[in-house]
């Protein structure tokens, strides 16, 4: 069915595109809030420059995140109307709550932050970027509550031909949220940390604005190292949880066709989806059992067994996700994360030895690794969403049942092409602006003690 395929492409493109900008804003808003707080507490003008420099880059990404987010909200109704009917009772609530608790705060206080320099007291100004940062993270929470229901439905009953909410507390305390939310937020912190590191490295290599970027590199290094460790820990915990909650997703991510005890970890595999086997694989014995259950002598169920169980439970059908892309996405995500860890540790080591700037090869490695967090974020989401197929809501609704029956392929083609072209043009504009401001570096803010302070400022500063 052409409409289904097109709608899936559209969802994939708009979601991945949206999520190119969101992780950076999740992390960078917090970094900026910290920088501005340091400025307010110490009065050090350099930190005001830091706030403004990173703030400018943040705003470009934030704008892109906001406008692509509007599409996200609307296309559930546009392309997936039967999903909206079936799930609206549950899914609409977190979306409405996201708007009520997060979007208003974000957008209103961001406006205050952008236009409020010298107009409101310093403490209030710093508070507004904290509010933006917390609201951004709160918004991620609500979206992940909604997404977690699709992965692991809780607190509902099937009534009146749809899923109805029976327990709101269960919805927001869905165990899935408590693995997915930290992992997603931490990936945002890492993305922002790497962004700061890479741009600082750029200037340290060229020896421009050295003091300024030394300070941000240091902050970025501590920030990224800590969040990367936590990110990997949360990823491990999430995988262990998925082994229990979504065994099919784990089996697909590992291309494990037959149940095995102990199960090996396949480092690489040539996957033959047609014959449901791997024609070649490099494996580490018992490693998967150890990773999933903390015990090398435990069984892991394979795709073929789980499929049999699903057929018995849900009737005849194909319940196997596209194994090859899920398998490789998972490996690319892990490899990107590991590469980031190596680079950050190498940079940290040289920093500690005081040799970082003398050995630009590591700084160059940092600079050229900027795509890594983006690759990891996109492939990570692909594992999450691709590994859930053929379900849109696991066990309740299949993707092909969710698509809008009243929307023809022609309409979807128009919107698919339209969005993609506009997204591409906007990406070019955004990249142009980001590289322009990165090259330019911090702009010296003239110290103007002659300018009378805004009314009320003396109360606070």
Partner 1 sequence: MELSVLWFVLVTVLFIGFFFLEGFDYGVGILLPVLGKNDTERRVLINTIGPVWDGNEVWMITAGGAMFAAFPHVYATMFSGFYLALFLMLMALIVRGVAFEFRSKDENPAWRTTWDWLIFFGSAIPALLWGVAVANLIKGVPINANMQYVGTFFDLLSPYTLVGGLAFLLVFIFHGAMYLTLKTTGEMVERARKAAVKAGVPAAVFCLMLVGMTYTNTDLFASTGAGITLWGAVVLFVGAYAAVYAKRYGLGFTLSSLTIAFTTVAFFWGLFPRLMVSSLNPAWSLTITNASSSQYTLQIMTVAALALVPVVLVYQGWVYWTFRKRVTAKDLEY
In the region spanning residues 400 to 459, those forming contacts with partner 1, defined by CB under 8 A, are 404-407, 411, 414-415, 418-419, 422, 426, 429-430, 433, 436-437
Q: Which of 13, 46, 165, 230 binds partner 1 (CB under 8 A)?
A: 165
Phi-psi region of 447 (alpha: psi -120 to 50; beta: other; left: phi over 0): beta
Does 82 engage in binding with partner 1 (CB under 8 A)? Answer: yes
Nearer to partner 1, 53 or 241 (CB): 53
Nearer to partner 1, 161 or 316 (CB): 161
Minimum CB separation of residue 436 from partner 1 in Å reads 7
Cβ-contact 14, 419 below 8 angstroms: yes
Nearer to partner 1, 81 or 324 (CB): 81
Minimum CB separation of residue 25 from partner 1 in Å reads 13
Phi-psi region of 357 (alpha: psi -120 to 50; beta: other; left: phi over 0): alpha
Nearer to partner 1, 56 or 214 (CB): 56
Per-residue string for binding with partner 1, 113-142, x by CB under 8 A? -xxxx-xx----------------------
Does 74 engage in binding with partner 1 (CB under 8 A)? Answer: yes
d(CA 237, CA 214): 34
d(CA 233, CA 343): 18
User: Between the CA of residue 40 and those of 13, 17, 116, 392, 450, what are the distances in Å?
Assistant: 41, 35, 15, 47, 19
Nearest Cα to 234, choosing from 171, 305, 182? Answer: 182
Kindly identify the residues of this chain, within the stretch 324-343, that bind partner 1 according to CB under 8 A: none
Nearer to partner 1, 46 or 407 (CB): 407
Does 96 engage in binding with partner 1 (CB under 8 A)? Answer: yes
Give me the phi and psi of 255, to 5 degrees please: 50, 45
Stretch that binds partner 1, among 77-85, 264-272, 276-284, 372-380 (CB under 8 A): 77-85
Does 63 engage in binding with partner 1 (CB under 8 A)? Answer: yes
Nearest Cα to 416, choosing from 74, 68, 14? Answer: 14
User: Between the CA of residue 64 and those of 18, 99, 143, 432, 434, what are the distances in Å?
Assistant: 8, 17, 18, 13, 12
Minimum CB separation of residue 3 from partner 1 in Å reads 11
Could you tell me the two tokens for 94? 């977190």
Does 78 engage in binding with partner 1 (CB under 8 A)? Answer: yes
């Amino acid at each position: 069915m052409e409409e289904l395929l097109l709608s899936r492409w559209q969802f994939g493109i708009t979601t991945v595109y949206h999520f190119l900008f969101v992780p950076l804003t999740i992390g960078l808003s917090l970094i900026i809030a910290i920088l501005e707080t340091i400025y307010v507490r110490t009065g050090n003008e350099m930190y005001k420059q830091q706030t403004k420099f990173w703030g400018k880059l943040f705003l470009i990404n934030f704008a892109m995140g906001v406008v692509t987010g509007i599409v996200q909200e609307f296309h559930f109704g546009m392309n997936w109307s039967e999903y909206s009917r079936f799930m609206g009772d549950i899914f609409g609530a977190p979306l409405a709550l996201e708007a009520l608790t997060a979007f208003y705060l974000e957008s209103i206080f961001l406006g205050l932050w952008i236009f409020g320099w010298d107009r409101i007291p310093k403490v209030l100004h710093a508070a507004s970027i904290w509010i933006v940062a917390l609201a951004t993270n709160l918004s991620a929470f609500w979206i992940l509550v909604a997404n977690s229901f699709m992965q692991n439905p809780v607190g509902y009953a099937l009534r009146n031909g749809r899923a109805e909410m029976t327990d709101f507390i269960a919805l927001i305390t869905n165990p899935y949220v408590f693995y997915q939310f930290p992992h997603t937020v931490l990936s945002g912190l890492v993305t922002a940390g790497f962004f700061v590191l890479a741009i600082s490295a750029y200037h340290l290599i060229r020896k421009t604005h050295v003091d300024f970027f030394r300070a941000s590199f240091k902050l970025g290094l501590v920030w990224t190292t800590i969040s990367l460790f936590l990110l990997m820990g949360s990823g491990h915990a999430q995988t262990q949880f998925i082994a229990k909650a979504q065994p099919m997703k784990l089996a697909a991510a590992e291309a494990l066709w037959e149940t095995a005890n102990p199960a090996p970890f396949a480092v690489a595999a040539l996957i033959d989806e047609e014959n449901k086997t791997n024609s070649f694989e490099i494996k580490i014995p018992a490693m998967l059992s150890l990773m999933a259950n903390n015990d090398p002598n435990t069984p892991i169920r394979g795709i073929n067994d789980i499929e049999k169980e699903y057929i018995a439970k849900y009737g005849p059908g194909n319940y196997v996700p596209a194994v090859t892309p899920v398998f490789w996405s998972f490996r690319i995500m892990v490899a990107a994360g590991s590469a980031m860890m190596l680079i950050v540790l190498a940079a940290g080591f040289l920093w500690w030895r005081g040799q970082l700037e003398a050995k630009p090869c590591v700084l160059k490695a940092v600079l050229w690794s900027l795509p890594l967090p983006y690759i990891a974020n996109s492939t990570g989401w692909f594992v999450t969403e691709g590994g859930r197929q053929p379900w849109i809501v696991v066990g309740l609704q299949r993707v092909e049942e969710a698509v809008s029956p009243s929307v023809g392929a022609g309409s979807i083609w128009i919107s698919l092409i339209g969005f993609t072209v506009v997204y591409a043009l906007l990406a070019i504009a955004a990249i142009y602006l980001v590289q322009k401001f990165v090259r330019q570096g911090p702009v010296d803010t003239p110290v103007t003690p002659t300018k009378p302070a805004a009314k009320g400022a003396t109360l606070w500063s």
